[in-house]
Amino acid sequence: MIEKITLIGGGLVGSLLSLVLARKGYSVDVYESREDMRKVNISAGRSINLALANRGIKPLQALGLMNEINEMLIPMKGRMVHPEGEPANFQPYGQTTNDVIYSISRGQLNSFLMTKAEATGKVKFFFEHRVSHIDFEKMTFTANVAGTEKSINFNRIIGTDGANSPVRQAILSQESKQDSEAVLDHSYKELTIAPDENGQHKLDANALHIWPRGEFMLIALPNLDGSFTVTLFMPNHGFTSFDSVNTKEEIHHFFDAHFTSIKPLLDDLIGSYQNNPTGRLATIKCSPWHYKDKALIVGDSAHAVVPFHGQGMNCGFEDCNAIAELFPAADNAKDSDWQALFGEVEQVRKINSDAIADMALENYIEMRDSVRQHEFLLQKQFAFK
Ligand code: FAD
């Protein structure tokens, strides 16, 4: 019988990992709480587009996917910084044409990876299955399907279920653990710049735009349809915060005072601001990432980072690459020491993900404030934003 691995979470990392495992010959079941995003328009609720960088491209290249993914990419050659009341200045990421990062649609990439995984014939997605309790004695988990609780058996489980991972909670409740979740006292909200009347971008499409304003900032990444997704990062509480900017008047006043040049470009500012969710941001560092030979976590479930280094997905893709290199082919799975294999994944990946978590927090200060100091940033050689 073909060795089966069960993934909880069919987001970016779960979809890529299912493909990695299928290519190694495993049969993979993926349980995902949301509907199939290829059939229904799921409001992302979080970053509609993302920056894909070298560390995320490498695993995609290894699977031979980049030819098709290239069509989804918009190269961003540097930061376009928009200081208040001054002309914008462009800060290239490097000296060569290779020094770029890419804007990509989260939904498009996720859908593409799911379709590729299914095309192997070895991966099955179970949508609208919200997983809760995991029982390592009985080797079952509970999934809520249309209001009914179902008990499902597993052989080995990998949590790719994001920052609020029930698989992480199950692992950490079994073992003596190190676990920290630091919720940032700043949150984010997404807004949009629509394309112009010719369907073109209203700002330079080959740059990541930043409006740094000290305690808060806006950034914008281009989309293929000529729009930009704009993200406002701001404190949760205080004088200028998500607590204090809510009514139509407050929103107008805030954008008039701090974002004069971009305000006229924002599409349905009041409606978007008031209706789009305010997303929280957190850093998760934990250990162990596995329980015996039964369960492992990767991606945001093991190491959620704040997005200011633009490396959360990229880092999760690197986890998939590590698994591709460490796991045996399915034919040899029975003779392998899975507890040791799971431990090795944590050993090779945690040091990197912890470092990225720290750099991402540092970069927030840079972006809000010091990003105006071009020379300083160049010295730091930040990959993103
Ligand atoms: P997720 O994307 O969170 O996917 C988890 C999946 O599991 C989801 O599909 C979810 O529905 C499912 N799930 C959750 N709970 C359950 C359950 N109980 N049962 C079943 N399924 C479940 N990263 C970058 O590399 N570049 C960027 O530019 C970037 N920008 C970002 C901007 C913002 C505003 C934010 C918030 C994040 C950004 N990131 C970026 C980080 C990136 O979004 C994450 O690192 C990435 O999504 C992690 O992928 P994942 O698959 O591990 O987790």
Closest by CA position to 1, among listed 331, 352, 335:
331
Question: Separation of 332 CA from ligand 1 center, angstroms?
Answer: 31
Give the CB-side neighbour count of residue 323, counting CA atoms within 13 A. Answer: 29
Residue 310 beta carbon below 6 angstroms from any ligand 1 atom = yes
Query: Which of 16, 20, 47 gets mutated to test ligand 1 (max ligand atoms within 8 A of its CB)?
Result: 47
> 314 by DSSP, 3-state: which?
helix
Residue 137 has pLDDT above 80, yes or no: yes
Find the mean pLDDT for residues 54-65.
96
CB 168 within 8 A of CB 282: no
Residue 59 has pLDDT above 50, yes or no: yes
Residue 311 beta carbon below 6 angstroms from any ligand 1 atom = yes
Find the mean pLDDT for residues 363-383.
54
The DSSP annotation for 210-244 comes to EEEETTEEEEEEE-TTS-EEEEEEEESSSSSSTTT
Cis check for the bond before 83: say yes or no (omega within 30 of 0): no
Residue 159 beta carbon below 6 angstroms from any ligand 1 atom = no
Mean pLDDT is lowest, of 8-12, 37-41, 74-78, 270-274, for: 37-41
Alpha carbon 185 to its chain centroid, in Å, reads 19
Residue 320 has pLDDT above 80, yes or no: yes
CB 48 within 8 A of CB 147: no
Closest by CA position to 21, among listed 333, 293, 352, 300:
333
Phi, psi of 160 (to 5 degrees): -120, 45
pLDDT digits (tens, 9 = 90+) for 7-25: 999 999 999 999 999 999 9
Pairing of strands 89-92, 178-193: unpaired
Band of residue 96 on the pLDDT scale cut at 50, 70, 90 = confident
> 355 by DSSP, 3-state: which?
helix
pLDDT digits (tens, 9 = 90+) for 250-309: 999 999 999 999 999 999 999 999 999 999 999 999 999 999 999 999 999 999 999 988
Q: What is the pLDDT of residue 319?
A: 98
Find the mean pLDDT for residues 106-118.
97
**CATH fold group of domain 4-46+106-181+283-366:** FAD/NAD(P)-binding domain (3.50.50)
Question: Separation of 300 CA from ligand 1 center, angstroms?
Answer: 6
Question: Separation of 334 CA from ligand 1 center, angstroms?
Answer: 31
Q: What is the pLDDT of residue 379?
A: 39
Q: What is the pLDDT of residue 158?
A: 98
80 vs 130, 207, 221, 311, CA distance in Å?
Answer: 41, 6, 11, 19
Is pTM beyond 0.80? Reply is: yes
Q: What is the pLDDT of residue 385?
A: 41
Residue 13 beta carbon below 6 angstroms from any ligand 1 atom = yes
Percent of the chain with pLDDT over 90: 84
Band of residue 41 on the pLDDT scale cut at 50, 70, 90 = confident
User: How far is it, in rounded angstroms, from Cα 258 to Cα 340?
Assistant: 53
